[in-house]
């Protein structure tokens, strides 16, 4: 599921955010779709699309897509990791962009989850190394940036089958369509949207105090004024 083709970037590249749901509207896989540039067409052919997901999800996602392909005339193949790498440029709201923003942003498309603050795309593996990422030049800096903005991704942070599309704010990231029909999990997603009942959400929180440093994924979070949650990542 997804809503639209994403915004364009350098060289005509486009990036969209989407998810594969189960019948209960829970996220099975979250993914990015890349299209519209020579790098993608070299890997997927003219008019092709490259799906980006967590490395540990590749085989399961490919199997799910083949299972639901039915009679659609589409070829599904796995791209060798050495062919393409994911490149990211990001900055903080109101803050100065790192030098790598100027170096990379022109070649990448806006990240649909935070189009004013981040860009994302596919580059040859050697050009997409983590050392090329913005604001600190380290993968840890990008992860911290995501956490600060409430952007969870991958099966370790979005456990398959546990969280619904709306609980993960996918409608705010352009990853849910309320006009398209006939996708798996549509009914519970549409019902929650139209009734306005979403009882929990993924959101960033700051922990302070003696136990903050030892917080780990799966820990229960208790709010002093009432309410409970769970740490998906820390």
Say whether pLDDT at 223 is over 60.
Answer: yes
| Residue 157 CB-half CA count within 13 A | 17
Are 87 and 67 in contact, with CB atoms under 8 Å apart?
no
pLDDT exceeds 90 at position 192: yes
Q: What would the mean pLDDT of 156-180 be, rounded to a whole number?
A: 92
Going by pLDDT thresholds of 50, 70 and 90, the confidence category of residue 27 is: very high
Q: Is-contact 85 122, C-beta < 8 A?
A: yes
What are the pLDDT digits (tens) for 41-97?
A: 888 888 899 999 999 999 999 999 999 888 888 889 888 766 788 888 888 776 656
pLDDT value at 14 more than 50: yes
Write out the two tokens for 150: 């409430």
Q: What is the mean pLDDT of residues 129-138?
A: 48
């Amino acid at each position: 599921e997804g809503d639209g083709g994403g915004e364009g970037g350098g060289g005509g590249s486009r990036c969209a955010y989407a998810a594969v749901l189960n019948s209960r509207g829970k996220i099975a896989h979250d993914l990015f779709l890349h299209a519209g540039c020579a790098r993608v067409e070299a890997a997927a052919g003219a008019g092709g699309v490259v799906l980006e997901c967590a490395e540990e999800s590749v085989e399961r996602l490919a199997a799910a897509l083949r299972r639901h392909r039915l009679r659609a005339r589409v070829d599904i193949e796995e791209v060798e990791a050495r062919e393409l790498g994911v490149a990211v440029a990001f900055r903080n709201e109101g803050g100065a962009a790192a030098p790598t923003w100027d170096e990379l942003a022109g070649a990448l498309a806006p990240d649909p989850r935070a189009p004013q603050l981040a860009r994302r795309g596919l580059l040859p593996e050697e050009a997409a190394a983590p050392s090329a990422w913005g604001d600190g030049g380290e993968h840890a800096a990008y992860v911290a940036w995501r956490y600060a903005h409430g952007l969870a991704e991958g099966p370790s942070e979005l456990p398959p089958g546990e969280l619904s599309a709306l609980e993960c704010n996918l409608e705010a990231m352009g990853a849910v369509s309320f006009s398209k029909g006939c996708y798996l999990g549509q009914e519970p997603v549409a019902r929650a949207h139209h009734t306005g009942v979403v009882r929990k959400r993924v959101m960033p929180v700051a922990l302070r105090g003696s136990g903050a440093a030892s917080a780990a994924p799966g820990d229960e979070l208790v709010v002093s004024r009432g309410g409970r949650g769970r740490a998906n990542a820390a």
